[in-house]
């Protein structure tokens, strides 16, 4: 299946976040609650465009129609978080790589940092990499990361689904994963005089 590239048209507003999966058990006697985190958390969001000119509107319309509803796939991340806030913001072309082929859970060892002893990534920065099954995983870094000896252990969420290969590239600019429309009804738009288009659609991570 061909995975499309999302059009580079500025959005008016973006909603983005992680949909966790938790089971809760409440005691009928004491109301004490136990929770269990389940695997399978996924990214989701909504993006809105307003007052689009004709050329922009038609580019987005063609993109939505090409998806054929929930069947299509495209790369997208958090459009409000496309660059890190640590010093890696000043090194957009630097290639970072995974160290080892056994990274699991919420820890990812990465090397290739150009500077040591300074915060390379800050909590809230986004990265992505190709997982062991060839599926792109999007992660948020949840703790500041300061490299030592050119490498650092990143604390990420959601947990790694499939360990990436040794030396797999780590993307730290405009990080994305594979998304699909949330429903077949999301591929629609509205037009009002003077021929200005508005559209808003929701998407979810297409987890394999």
pLDDT digits (tens, 9 = 90+) for 8-21: 999 999 999 999 98
- Look at residue 193 and tell me whether its pLDDT is greater than 80: no
What distance in Å separates the CA atoms of residue 96 and residue 142, rounded to the nearest whole number? Answer: 18
Q: DSSP state, 90?
A: G
Higher pLDDT, 49 or 133: 49
What distance in Å separates the CA atoms of residue 134 and residue 208, rounded to the nearest whole number? Answer: 10
- The pLDDT tens digits for 81-131 are 999 999 999 999 999 999 999 999 999 999 999 999 999 999 999 999 998
What distance in Å separates the CA atoms of residue 208 and residue 183, rounded to the nearest whole number? Answer: 17
- What pLDDT, on the 0 to 100 scale, is given for residue 31? 87
- What pLDDT, on the 0 to 100 scale, is given for residue 171? 98
Label residues 144-159 b or e (16+ Cβ within 10 Å = b).
bbebeeeebebbbebe
Q: The tokens 């990499």 sit on which residue?
A: 129
CB atoms within 10 A of CB 127: 23
- What pLDDT, on the 0 to 100 scale, is given for residue 18? 96
- What pLDDT, on the 0 to 100 scale, is given for residue 51? 87
Cβ–Cβ < 8 Å for 21, 14: no
- What pLDDT, on the 0 to 100 scale, is given for residue 155? 98
What distance in Å separates the CA atoms of residue 107 and residue 125, rounded to the nearest whole number? Answer: 15
Give the global pTM.
0.90
Find the Cα–Cα–Cα–Cα dihedral 70, 73, 74, 75, rounded to 10°.
120
What distance in Å separates the CA atoms of residue 59 and residue 54, rounded to the nearest whole number? Answer: 9
- The pLDDT tens digits for 17-44 are 999 988 888 988 898 999 888 888 999 9
Pick the range with the lowest mean pLDDT from 59-63, 102-106, 145-149, 188-192. 188-192
- The pLDDT tens digits for 56-90 are 999 999 999 999 999 999 999 999 999 999 999 99
């Amino acid at each position: 299946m061909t995975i499309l590239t999302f059009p580079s048209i500025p959005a008016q507003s973006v909603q983005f976040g992680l949909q966790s999966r938790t089971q809760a058990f409440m005691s009928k006697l004491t109301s004490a609650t136990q929770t269990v985190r389940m695997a399978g958390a996924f990214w989701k969001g909504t993006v809105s465009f307003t007052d689009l000119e004709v050329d922009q509107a038609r580019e987005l319309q063609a993109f939505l129609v090409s998806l054929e509803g929930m069947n299509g796939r495209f790369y997208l991340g958090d459009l409000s978080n496309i660059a890190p806030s640590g010093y890696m913001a000043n090194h957009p072309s630097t290639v970072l790589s995974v160290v080892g082929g056994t990274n699991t859970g919420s820890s990812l060892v990465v090397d290739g940092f150009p500077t040591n002893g300074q915060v390379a990534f800050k909590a809230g920065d986004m990265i992505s990499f190709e997982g062991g099954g060839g599926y792109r995983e999007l992660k948020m870094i949840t703790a500041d990361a300061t490299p030592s000896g050119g490498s650092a252990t990143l604390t990420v969420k959601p947990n790694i689904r499939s360990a990436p290969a040794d030396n797999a590239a780590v993307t730290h600019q405009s990080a994305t994963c594979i998304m699909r429309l949330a429903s077949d009804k999301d591929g629609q738009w509205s037009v009002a005089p003077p021929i200005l288009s508005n559209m808003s659609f929701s998407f979810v991570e297409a987890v394999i």
